[in-house]
Amino acid sequence: MICSTCRRAAMRSARLPLRTLVRAPTAISRLSQTPITSTTPRRLISTSIPRFSAAAEEEPDLPSMSPAENEIADILKEKLSPTELLVQDVSGGCGSMYAIDITSPAFKGQTILKQQRMVNAALGDLVKGWHGVQIRTKVSA
């Protein structure tokens, strides 16, 4: 059973679609439609390719981790040698639910279930004090 704060945090952290696709109006459909005279906001559609400066292409700074998140990250770094690792407290600050994104060469040839079991085994008894954990694993190239 998880607390209401953790439940809300889990719902917020659920992945949402990154973009909403909208079909551009065609000439035929524009002729058949009546003009819209309401004050309803309309979506703007751009067909140009975005241009980025060199500064914008750099990787954005990741938010700093809390001491509890750092402790979890240190354990995983020691046991699984990840190439990428992100630990987030998604419980709203109470430290009872974490989201872990980890990429490691140790996962090569393992099923997703075995990869997640490896993360659970690395964390050991630490996980037993939490309401829940979200683990996303990837194999590094």
pLDDT for the residue 21? 45
| 67-139: CATH superfamily | BolA-like (3.30.300.90)
User: How far is the C-alpha of 17 from the C-alpha of 53, rounded, in Å?
Assistant: 26
Residue 75 structure tokens: 């354990």
> Which residue do the tokens 């997640």 mark?
116
Q: 1-10, 84-93, 131-140: which has the minimum mean pLDDT?
A: 1-10
Higher pLDDT, 50 or 139: 139
**Residue 82 scores a pLDDT above 90:** yes
Confidence of residue 83 (pLDDT cuts 50, 70, 90): very high
User: How far is the C-alpha of 124 from the C-alpha of 33, rounded, in Å?
Assistant: 62
> Which residue do the tokens 């309309």 mark?
42
pLDDT for the residue 41? 56
For the chain, count helices (H), then strands (E). 5, 3
pTM, 2 dp: 0.56
Residue range 14-25, pLDDT digits in tens: 554 444 344 445
- The mean pLDDT of the chain is 76
pLDDT for the residue 81? 94
